[in-house]
């Protein structure tokens, strides 16, 4: 019993990973847009499970909060508002499939290199930290949020701020689109 | 103290889950009953005092009993409690109608999402900091092992609660969509918009306790917000508490913000097409969500398992004489009492304030509550930065 539970606990990441893939396949394969969104939600929750299995609780919960709680709800909202008949829906959704296949193939080719190195290459003994003096006295396993915030606001401040500028641009763009439509 | 093995700790967790489920299934029916009675008395009538059907048989005997019961002063308020059994039987035994054009899978999925999201939140809520009780040594298999006050007091407990609670919105939206009928769809859309917008001020108002207590762990936050800080630093959080409560009412779709099921506009909103136990799950989920919102409010603003709210306990503690020291320590019973009081407040507000119009709800959320929550957060940050 003890051994069995331990084995499951050790393989939790793999279990959640496989479930996430199942969710992704459901998302691609579903006929109705709402079922697609549900598959996406399932995949997102399982990715959160993957993070939790890696003891990255903050990331896992942020995944639920941001993707499952925010973004997918908005998807659902849009899909429900843009009501399409079943047949028309299929045509619209499969309009881009050949380009999508091309893009995915390119992405896979690019990422295979990364994955090959990540899986088979020698792993570095320590994580890449630019300012290790800030990490002193930080118990990463129990201070997840603090560790992530150190990464964001000390080690990688500039990339983080650039990301937020991109979000700001998107926001302004959304406002502009909404305004021009109304006039 | 012995450390539990893996299997033992799983058994203990299952016991905690069972305790939480028992707590929920005791509190929820009693809230439903209290809602009838309190609303009745607020509207100058008696509420339920009998069970349905006439003078004969079991129900007749019960009704005669309850007539006599009505002459006892305080107990007379509890007449009609056998009606709860009838309610549950009705929910379980009623025919489960599925509309012909409904999306059957999603129609089935929606109530379960609502219910699961509502109850999984309890994983991170800790009723008492530290140990709740210890098994006596004679207990088979688990003798001498401690049971902690929460199922899993993880270091990002608050985020877990907020995250899982937001998943609950899918239940309502999907129910509205899958019924394939216009009132449920409108109800579902309204609720998606309302819940997503009110999540912002809700989270902002909960950020003030996070800033003040410098933690995201549930029990740490509640203990620091109760006794860990000087009272005058926490008293401004009265505003935060009122803000949180307002957003909580909106988030649980209760009056005065019950847009998704506004009866006179949308029949019954998102659950118009639901019947039987599927409707029952929505009903349960609503009341469990109310309990969760009350639990958060009582933990972060009303002092949690300590007696006094807003950090006043810390003022009182040094002056408590020895024989009253029981009141200085945290007890699950204080926590539960505060939850029950807030549930009463829910009913009280429902009986007092009429429903807002839909555009008014959105205006209140975006134009008043969010700026107020930001000001409150700024206040908390200033207190945290310069004073504490």
Quote the number of domains for chain B: 1
Establish if B242 belongs to a structural domain: yes
A11 and A74, same domain (yes or no): yes
More confident residue, A115 or A102: A102
Residue A177's CB is within 10 A of a number of other CB atoms, namely: 10
Environment class of residue B358 by beta-carbon count within 10 Å: exposed (0-12), middle (13-18) or buried (19+)? middle
Q: Evaluate if residue B1 carries a pLDDT over 80.
A: no
pLDDT for the residue numbered B7: 82
Residue B85 placed within a domain: no
| Chain A residues near residue B167 by CB distance under 8 angstroms | 45, 64, 68-69
In a domain, A130, yes or no: no
Instruction: Assess if residue A128 is contained within a domain.
Output: no
Residues of B in contact with A144 (CB under 8 A): 155-156
Chain A within 8 Å of B167 (Cβ-Cβ)? Answer: yes
A39 and A11 in one domain?
yes
pLDDT on residue A24: 92
Global confidence as pTM:
0.85
pLDDT tier at B140 (50, 70, 90 boundaries)? Answer: confident
Examine the pLDDT at B79 and tell me if it is beyond 80. yes
A129 assigned to some structural domain: no
DSSP-derived secondary structure letter, B145 = -
Answer yes or no: do A93 and A48 share one domain: no
**Tokens 């999603």 sit on residue:** B106
Most confident of A36-45, A96-105, B177-186: A36-45
Task: Express each pLDDT in B188-232 by its tens digit.
Answer: 888 778 888 888 899 899 998 888 888 888 888 888 888 877 777
Is residue B107 included in any domain, yes or no?
yes
Do the domain assignments include residue A14? yes
> Which helix (H) or strand (E) covers residue B108, if one does?
helix B104-120
Instruction: For chain B, give the percent of residues with pLDDT over 70.
Output: 97
DSSP state of B227: T
Residue B374: predicted pLDDT? 92
B370 lies in some domain: yes
A79 and A99 fall within a common domain: no
- Asked whether residue B180 carries a pLDDT value surpassing 60, the answer given is yes
- What was the pLDDT predicted at B311? 72
pLDDT at B253: 81
Residues A39 and A63 in one domain: yes
Say how far apart CA B204 and CA B236 lie, in whole Å: 15
For A117-168, the pLDDT digits (tens) are 777 777 666 666 656 666 666 666 667 777 778 778 877 888 889 989 999 9
Q: Is residue B299 part of a domain?
A: yes
Q: Measured over all CA atoms, what is the biggest interatomic distance in chain B, rounded to whole angstroms?
A: 72
Q: What is the pLDDT of residue B145?
A: 82
pLDDT of A90 reads 58
Predicted confidence at residue A91, as pLDDT, reads 64
Whether B379 maps to a domain, the answer reads: yes
Cβ contact (<8 Å) for B173 and A73?
A: yes
pLDDT at A180 over 90: no
Structural domains of chain A, count: 3
Which of A6, A61, A73 faces B163 most closely, judged by CB atoms? Answer: A61
Q: Classify the complex by whether its ipTM is higher than 0.85, answering yes or no.
A: no
Same structural domain, A7 and A47: yes
What is the percentage of chain B residues whose pLDDT exceeds 90? 10
CA-nearest of B167, B110, B123, B162 to B281 is B110
The mean per-residue pLDDT over the stretch B228-238 comes to 79
pLDDT at A31 over 70: yes
Report if residue B13 sits inside a domain.
Answer: no
Please tell me the predicted confidence (pLDDT) of residue B4.
77
**pLDDT value of residue B88:** 85
In which domain, by residue range, is A102 found?
A: 86-121
Count of residues for chain B? 388
CA distance A131 to chain B (A): 23
**Which domain covers residue B338, as residue numbers?**
98-133+152-387
Measure the CA–CA gap between A32 and B213, rounded to whole angstroms: 46
Element (H, E) at B134: strand B126-134
In terms of CA atoms, which chain B residue is nearest residue A64? B163
pLDDT at position A141 is: 64
Tens digits of residue pLDDT in B102-118: 788 888 888 999 899 99
């Amino acid at each position: 019993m003890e051994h069995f539970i331990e084995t499951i606990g050790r393989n939790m990441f793999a279990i959640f990973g496989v479930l996430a893939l199942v969710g992704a396949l459901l998302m691609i394969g579903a006929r109705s847009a709402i079922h697609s969104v549900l598959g996406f939600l399932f995949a997102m929750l399982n990715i959160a499970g993957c993070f939790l299995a890696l003891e990255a609780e903050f990331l896992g919960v942020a995944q639920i909060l941001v993707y499952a709680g925010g973004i997918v709800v908005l998807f659902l909202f849009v899909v429900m508002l843009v009501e399409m008949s079943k047949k028309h829906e299929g045509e619209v959704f499969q309009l881009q499939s050949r380009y999508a296949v091309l893009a995915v193939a390119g992405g896979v080719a690019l990422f295979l290199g990364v994955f090959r190195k990540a899986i088979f290459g020698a792993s570095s003994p320590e994580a890449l930290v630019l300012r290790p003096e800030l990490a002193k006295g930080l118990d990463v396993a129990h201070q997840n949020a603090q560790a992530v915030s150190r990464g964001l606001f000390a080690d990688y401040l500039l990339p983080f701020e650039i990301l937020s500028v991109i979000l700001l641009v998107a926001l302004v763009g959304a406002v502009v689109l909404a305004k021009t439509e109304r006039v | 103290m012995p450390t539990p093995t893996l299997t033992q700790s799983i058994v203990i967790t299952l016991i905690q889950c069972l305790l939480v489920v028992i707590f929920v299934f005791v509190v929820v029916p009693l809230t439903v009953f209290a809602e009838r009675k309190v609303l009745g008395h607020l509207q100058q009538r008696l509420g339920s005092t009998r069970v349905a059907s006439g003078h004969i048989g079991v129900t007749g005997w019960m009704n005669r009993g309850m007539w006599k019961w009505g002459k006892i002063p305080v107990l007379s308020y509890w007449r009609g409690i056998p009606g709860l059994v009838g309610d549950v039987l009705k929910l379980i035994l009623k025919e489960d109608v599925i509309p012909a054009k409904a999306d059957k899978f999603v129609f089935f999925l929606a109530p379960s999402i609502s219910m699961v999201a509502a109850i999984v939140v309890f994983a991170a809520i800790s009723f008492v900091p530290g140990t709740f009780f210890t098994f006596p040594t004679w207990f088979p298999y688990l003798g001498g092992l401690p049971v902690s006050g929460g199922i899993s007091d993880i270091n990002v407990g608050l985020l877990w609660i907020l995250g899982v609670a937001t998943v609950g919105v899918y239940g309502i939206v999907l129910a509205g969509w899958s019924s394939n009928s216009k009132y449920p769809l409108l109800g579902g859309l309204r609720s998606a918009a309302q819940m997503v917008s009110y999540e912002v001020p809700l989270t902002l108002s909960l950020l003030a306790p996070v800033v003040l207590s410098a933690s995201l762990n549930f029990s740490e936050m509640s203990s620091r917000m109760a006794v860990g800080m000087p009272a005058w630093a926490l008293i401004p959080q009265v505003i935060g508490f009122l803000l949180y409560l307002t957003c909580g009412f909106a988030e649980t779709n209760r009056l005065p913000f019950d847009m998704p099921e506004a009866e006179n506009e949308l029949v019954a909103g998102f659950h118009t097409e639901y019947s039987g136990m599927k409707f029952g799950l929505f009903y349960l989920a609503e009341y469990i969500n109310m309990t969760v919102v009350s639990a958060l409010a009582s933990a972060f603003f009303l002092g949690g398992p300590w007696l006094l709210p807003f950090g006043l306990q810390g003022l009182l503690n040094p002056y408590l004489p020895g024989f009253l020291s029981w009141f200085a320590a945290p007890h699950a019973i204080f926590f539960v009492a505060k939850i029950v009081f807030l549930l009463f407040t829910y009913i009280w507000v429902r009986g007092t304030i009429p429903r807002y119009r839909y555009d008014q709800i959105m205006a209140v959320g975006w134009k008043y509550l969010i700026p107020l929550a930001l000001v409150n957060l700024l206040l908390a940050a200033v207190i945290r930065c310069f004073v504490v």
